[in-house]
A and B are shown apart, each in its own frame.
Chain A
Amino acid sequence: MMSSILLIGGIGCVAALILGISSVTFAVKMDPREKAVLDQLPGANCGACGMAGCAAFAHELTVNDQAEMTCPAVNEEALAVISEVLGRSLGGGTSVVACVCCKGSPAETVDRYNYIGPKDCRSAQIIAGGAKGCGFGCLGLGTCVDVCPFSAMYMGEDGLPHVIIERCTGCGKCVEVCPRGIIKLIDKTGNYSVGCISKDTAKVMKQLCKVGCIKCGLCVDICPFEAITVSKDNAALIDQNRCRSCGLCVGVCPTGVITPMRKPEKVSIIAERCKGCAICEQICPVNAISGEIKKPFVVDDSRCIGCGMCIEKCPTDAIERIRS
């Protein structure tokens, strides 16, 4: 009994000694900055930076002074920390998010045939170009959801994939796998998107899908900022640089294909700074601002569309954006 305890204990002590010595002698020296950088990277190993994974990219950033920030998924805070750790300023960072440009759920569209094969859109696409009648419509088998390394997509009850904007890092994995090119990367600050990329004419469109862009051009006409373009064979497209998120297009679209990507922004007036000049009242396209001259003005939340025109014109910087 005693001898076995001593024997096992002895073997344990010898092994511990060997391990202890070798851990000191054979220790791999790692740049502490590398660990710090790695901590800030998303850790999804998506490969979008062009390296084998986040660790490889962190190593590259640390050892190579010329290495650029090619990670599309890193956020601004992390970027600031990495820049500080490495002692050089790094550009880049995420400015885009994925957007599914199709609203054609199975209930709204027609199928050409009954597909019973593997649940993979790319696989469905090789059979006569996919079952969905509209050649620009979502096949709804969720390959984009499967490949998303950040769990930023889910299949909704409507049979279409949806993007959780807060989680999306704009890595573009979903864009790569979508066989129909429905997913687009759009500006992160954008508030509205067009849920259709069809090049079909209105006549063809009407037979295939109830919620597709019919190229009527109403949105183009109403947009105060000339941010929307549409042509006979191209669905409406919002130029996110020009869009001021006023949301007027949403109201006029007859098929409801333009939708907000998130809760719309509003503005509010900081009373202490407002001098009551009434410029904002005059510029507001929806008459949401009112008040008496030389007294703080107020914004009517129910009317404000968050276009931000007043912010630019305010001489005292008294107007700020808020999330409703």
Chain B
Amino acid sequence: MRNVYRKVPDRCHRKDSLMKTFKGGIHPNDKKELVEDNPIAALPLSDHYYVLTQQHIGAPAKPIVKPGDEVKKAQAITEPLGFVSAASHSPTSGRVKEIIQRVHPVTGLLAPCIVIESDGKDEYMPGLPLERDPFSLQKDELIGIIKSSGIVGMGGATFPTHVKLSPPKDKKIDTFIVNGAECEPYLASDYRLMLEEPQRIIDGARIVMRILGVDKAIIGIEDNKPDAIKKMKEIAPPEVQVEVLKVKYPQGAEKQLINALTGRDVPSGGLPMDVGAVVQNTGTCAAIWDACANGIPLIERITSITGRGIKHPKNLRLRVGTPVKDVFEFCGGVVDAAKIIFGGPMMGIAQFTDEIPIMKGTSGILLLTEDDTNLSTYSACISCGRCVEACPMGLIPSDLSKQGEKGMWEKAVGTNLLDCVECGSCTFVCPANRPIVHFVKFLKSLQRAASAKAKGA
């Protein structure tokens, strides 16, 4: 297969045919060398933390503190409204200064945000961190702990974890998959976690296996992380299997990962649980371990600060709510960055301001220079079919993009618009430079607006 974009890093030494993968996908240059060898560092305590109340997919969460309240580290400051929702916790001890409107990094719109003024003591709630044996707890207790700890999918989608771990009775789960693929170029936060703290991931995975009642777990890792594969294989107990995946984007997308590891296809409009699988990110597993064994909620995560636009790329252990400005300062400052992206280059979201905080789903912050970005305009579709070849979901992105130009969402829904996972493979290969994912997002927004209108009418 001829693919002009094919650039497989030198580290990938195996033959392609030996490794598991899915159909479609692309081979971007992974650029992980910028940051992958930097050990995880901690950021000094910031003066203020900005905890957004909506850090997850689903119903919003309501603040339960008011300005002037004293809070301790790990104290709950929002409560979930509804089942598909998640709480947030104070990242340090101090005082609630105010509740303001701040730009939300995902939507770009103003959203309520709790500002916590640090008192510099960084004291936990009384009794924390505790030490308990999570394997002596019952399934429901564990799910309760995960829910109250505000754990969400930390790969970036931020779907509340307790929902994923409570499948309906009629769905039999037989496979648990730990997602260590980290297929987004540039990012290396999961890699560092697997290398430096593999025990947390394995133990967290064992807790999830207990909750789901499965006796086998698979950790899928892309072949461009041989050190992590070695490390995980060394310490993995027999019930946890480490599988090597072909280096291909989007190998870490839920449905593609399930397909690569089990050969099952998640049906159109379905969920992984429909084929008996549950997928959790490595970071989520580590957070589950912290919550269940030590009682510490999700208040910090590993984030890669990378790209040529930052002076010293680093892997940092960041508290949720840390102002991005402090992070950039710690990394030596921004050097002629043309684009700041929350997440990776493929699925991340470009930001227009640095007045934003770290969120639970911020796996990386990417600073691209002008050379790395493509700001030119797009032209008409030349019907070359490269996007069709690249689409991991088997869609026809060229059609979707043309429908997007015309705003024909009804027709697009008929051509499986809603199955698009917005991975960006089509946009990456498009020789006409068409923003296909943007068109898809646009069509989805029209579809959402129309269905909301239909509901209201």
Contact = CB atoms under 8 A, between A and B. Distances in A.
Contacts of A315: none
Interface stretch (A116-124, A245-253, A259-267): A116-124
A122 B352 contact: no
B352 A112 contact: yes
Interface stretch (A90-98, A125-133, A271-279): A125-133
A26 interface: no
A123 B446 CA distance: 9
Nearest to B446: A122
A46 B375 CA distance: 37
A113 B339 CA distance: 10
B442 A129 contact: no
Interface of B: 103, 107-109, 350, 352-353, 375, 377-378, 404-405, 407, 435, 438-439, 441-442, 445-446
Nearest to A177: B407
A123 B438 contact: yes
Nearest to A114: B375
A127 B407 contact: no
B107 A116 contact: no
Contact of A116 (B109, B353, B377): B377
Given A128-B107, A128-B352, A116 B407 contact: no
17 contacts: A112-B353, A113-B352, A117-B435, A118-B404, A118-B442, A120-B405, A120-B407, A120-B442, A122-B407, A122-B442, A123-B404, A123-B442, A126-B441, A126-B442, A127-B108, A127-B438, A129-B107
A118 B439 CA distance: 8
Contact of B445 (A114, A116, A118, A126): A126
Contacts of B352: 112-113, 128
A129 B108 contact: yes
A138 B445 CA distance: 19
B442 A128 contact: no
A128 B439 contact: no
A130 to B, nearest CB: 9
A116 B107 CA distance: 18
CB-CB nearest 7 A-B residue pairs: A128-B108, A113-B352, A123-B442, A126-B445, A112-B352, A129-B109, A117-B438
A46 to B, nearest CB: 16
A118 B433 CA distance: 12
A117 B103 CA distance: 21
Interface string A123-162: 1001111000000000000000000000000000000000
Interface residues of A, number: 13
A122 B438 contact: no
A122 B445 contact: yes
Contacts of B405: 118, 120
Contacts of B407: 120, 122
A117 B107 CA distance: 17
A114 B352 CA distance: 9
B187 to A, nearest CB: 22
Contacts of B103: 128
A112 B351 CA distance: 10
A229 to B, nearest CB: 26
A14 to B, nearest CB: 44
Contact of B435 (A112, A113, A118, A122): A118
A137 to B, nearest CB: 15
A114 B378 CA distance: 15
Nearest to A124: B442
Contacts of A116: 375, 377
B109 A128 contact: yes
Nearest to B109: A129
A118 B108 contact: no
Contacts of B353: 112
A126 B437 CA distance: 12
A96 B404 CA distance: 31
Nearest to A143: B407
Nearest to B352: A113
Contacts of A127: 108, 350, 438
A130 B184 CA distance: 27
Given A113-B352, A120-B442, A128-B352, 13 more contacts: A112-B352, A112-B353, A113-B350, A117-B435, A118-B405, A120-B407, A122-B442, A123-B404, A126-B442, A128-B108, A128-B109, A129-B107, A129-B108
A120 B407 CA distance: 9
Contact of B438 (A112, A114, A118, A128): A118
A128 B108 CA distance: 4
Contacts of A113: 350, 352
B121 to A, nearest CB: 37
A114 B446 CA distance: 23
Interface in A181-214: none
Contacts of B445: 122, 126
